[in-house]
Amino acid sequence: MAVTKQYLEWHGRQWRVRVKVPAKVRDIIGRGKLTHPLHTADLKEANERKWPVVARLKAVVAAAEKAVVSTDPLEAEALRLRLTNYDDDTQEAITFRAYQLDKEQGEDRARAFYDLASGKTTPLDHHVDSFLKHQGYRLKSEGDFKRALGWLGDWLRDSKLPVTLEAVRRVDAGKFVSESLVIGRGQQKATAYLGFIKQYWVWLITKGHLIGENPWAGQTLPSAPRQRRETELDNGKRPFTDAEVKTLLSGDAGSLLNDLMPVGALSGMRIEEICQLHVADCRDRAFSVFAGKTASARRTVPIHSGLAEIVERRTVGKKDSDYLFDELPPIPKSRETRSDPAAKQFTRYRRKMEVDERPNDKAKSNVDFHSFRRWFIRKARDAKLAGAVGFDEWTITWVVGHTASDRAKSLDLSQHGYAGQDPEKAKSALVEAVRLPTTRQPSAKRPKE
């Protein structure tokens, strides 16, 4: 196998790192490429040494790109000087410019400029790209993180504090949480946003970009206020009731939802799992789930007899690589999930059918497409309690693809080690024990092998 030479070039009888500088920032950086010697003539060793250097040089390029797009002319100027601050002449220019700013805009602006240009302080979002690359967030989580960091920047600015990493003290972190983060947001969402900021700071300290204590360590949200007598009870997300399932399945939801809803109700699959199914994933009387939320979500789900007609109709005459629900549009670069259009269509339909629950006018309903999955789990449990045979209490975890943390170790052992048990037969028995509470029962026809 050939050894890669990515980011490497041979120079002066040794390997060195080379990172190309984009045309738009060459005037700032002053060259078309950034290089750094690795002090080795061995290609394998060079590949082992190169990555920290590549990261450092790319950070220089990223800083230059930030200077180009900065909406604050003073910040852009400081960042440009920061990139070339490796000689006495540049430092003298920084000092002189800060002296000018002190006269023109005051000591605070002058000090902020001097510290940023000299490398003593770092813009709040300076390391965001590197952090996101390290974390590997999904697009939605990436957007949530950037949103939370933006709120922190706005709060620092409104509080007349520098919008820099070094400016955030423990007292400031606490004030931001109570004065901004929790305002107009539920406890669960605010906790998630706070978690993103905490993770950013942990990464910054771990990578050596910040020194000292983490001002976010131990920060918590204020306790939720006591509910008033007139406050509606809110138990959070829940399964559909049988009446709601019947209402949803009896309406005219269109061809997509008319098939998607029964599949969700009789398989317990998540909406994205359903929308990612290919024709090849619907063979041998089972759905093969590959595009799951977690590693444990990869599984097979027996095809309920009530779904046989839907599956046969949607697979006949198609190639194995075609989607089962092929009417959904291609996934644009702006999102990662194929199911978004279906989820939005379902929300509109659900509201039209007046299946909703939003206590105290909360923004999001307690019922959504995932409530079919919750309903399936409840119905499987109820069937077992009513005497259904052929499956045990833990079979449900294997059908719905719960993660290992959702199952006690003893349950895993019982499922894998029980002599004589056929897991696939047990899963089929469980799936068939769930019945739709509607007169529009799909055709009970076994899927073809």
Model pLDDT for residues 107-116, shown as the tens digit of each residue: 777 877 777 7
Decide if 352 is inside a domain. yes
In a domain, 219, yes or no: no
Q: Is residue 235 part of a domain?
A: no
- Residue 191 sits in the same domain as residue 246: no
Establish if 59 belongs to a structural domain: yes
CATH number at residue 307: 1.10.443.10
Does residue 275 surpass a pLDDT of 90?
yes
pLDDT over 70, % of the chain: 86
pLDDT tens by residue, 149-178? 999 999 998 998 888 898 899 999 999 999
Is 225 contained in some domain? no
H/E element, 250: helix 242-250
Closest CA to 320 of 276, 278, 283: 278
The number of distinct structural domains making up the chain is: 3
Q: Are residues 95 and 39 in the same domain?
A: yes
Beta bridge mates, 36: 17
Distance CA 67, CA 31 (A): 16
415-437 residue pLDDT tens: 444 433 568 899 999 999 999 99
Query: Is 29 contained in some domain?
Result: yes
Which structural domain range is residue 39 located in?
8-118
Q: 194: which residues sit within 8 A by CB, 6+ positions away?
A: 148, 177, 181, 216, 219, 221
Q: Give dist(CA 211, CA 409) in Å, integer.
A: 40
Question: What are the distances in angstroms from CA 117 to CA 121, 130, 152, 212, 324?
Answer: 8, 21, 22, 22, 56
Claim to verify: residue 105 and residue 198 sit in the same structural domain? no
Instruction: State pLDDT tens for residues 299-351.
Output: 899 999 999 999 999 999 999 999 999 999 999 888 889 999 999 999 999 99
The residues near 118 (Cβ < 8 Å, ≥ 6 apart) are 82, 85, 91, 94
CB 300 within 8 A of CB 423: no
CA distance 4 to 318: 41
**Cα distances (angstroms) measured from residue 257 to each of 100, 106, 173, 217, 437:** 66, 62, 46, 46, 17
Q: Look at residue 200 and tell me whether its pLDDT is greater than 80.
A: yes
79 & 194 share domain: no
Nearest-5° Cα angle at 190, 189 to 196 = 95
Q: What are phi and psi of 278, to 5 degrees?
A: -100, 165
Q: Which of 199, 132, 213, 113 is nearest to 168 (CA)?
A: 213
Examine the domain organization and report whether 103 and 178 are in the same domain: no
Tokens for 125, please give them. 């979002």
Residue 12 burial (CB < 10 Å; 0-12/13-18/19+)? exposed
Shared-domain flag, residues 262 and 402: yes
Same domain? For 96 and 139 the reply is no
Count of positions (residues) in the chain: 449
pLDDT at 415: 47
pLDDT at 354: 96
Q: Is residue 179 part of a domain?
A: yes
- pLDDT above 60 for 16: yes
What is the number of other CB atoms lying within 10 angstroms of the CB of residue 20? 12
CB-based burial label for 423 (10 Å; 0-12, 13-18, 19+)? middle
Cβ-contact 300, 287 below 8 angstroms: yes
Token duo for residue 174? 């606490």
Instruction: Tell me if residue 300 falls in helix, strand or coil.
Output: strand
181 inside domain: yes
pLDDT at 242 over 90: yes
Q: Is the pTM for the entire model greater than 0.75?
A: no
